[in-house]
A = this chain, B = another copy of it.
Amino acid sequence: MKNPESSPAASIPDVFDPTCSSRHALELIAGKWPMLIISALENGPMRNAALMRRLGDISQKMLTQTLKELERNGLVIREDMRTVPPHVEYSLSPVGRSLSETLLVLDRWAETHFGALDAARERYDTERRK
């Protein structure tokens, strides 16, 4: 029998292993927009224009691009109604929904603690006169 130390980490996923796919999963949502888009889709399908309005300051390019990445990874489902003018709806897949639930926790964390962060930053900056 081999000890766990010698096993080249095939079974137990580890976010700290650079070659592990779980790292990839984290990097997928590490950008500026993915988390917000997933959160925005929480309450049901949305169209391109509605998402742009909701996200406030995203560019058309980044929205399309990010949605495509999320679709590619199976988090978002793109439904093209094939009408003219175009009507496309984006929604969360089951996996996407499971992610949105943990992101909700993160959103709440941000809304709870941003004040503390702001204060700390100001303290830090004034202390070192930057």
A27-41 vs B: 1/0 string, CB under 8 Å? 110111001100110
**A98–B108 alpha-carbon span in the complex (Å):** 11
- Chain A interfacial residues counted at CB < 8 A: 54
A27 nearest CB neighbor, chain B only: B32
* A80 interface hit (Cβ, 8 Å): no
> A residues engaging B (CB < 8 A)?
13-18, 20-28, 30-32, 35-36, 39-40, 54-57, 71-75, 95, 98-99, 102-103, 105-107, 109-111, 113-121, 123-125
A-B residue pairs, 9 tightest by C-beta: A74-B120, A25-B110, A13-B111, A21-B114, A25-B114, A22-B110, A18-B57, A22-B114, A72-B124
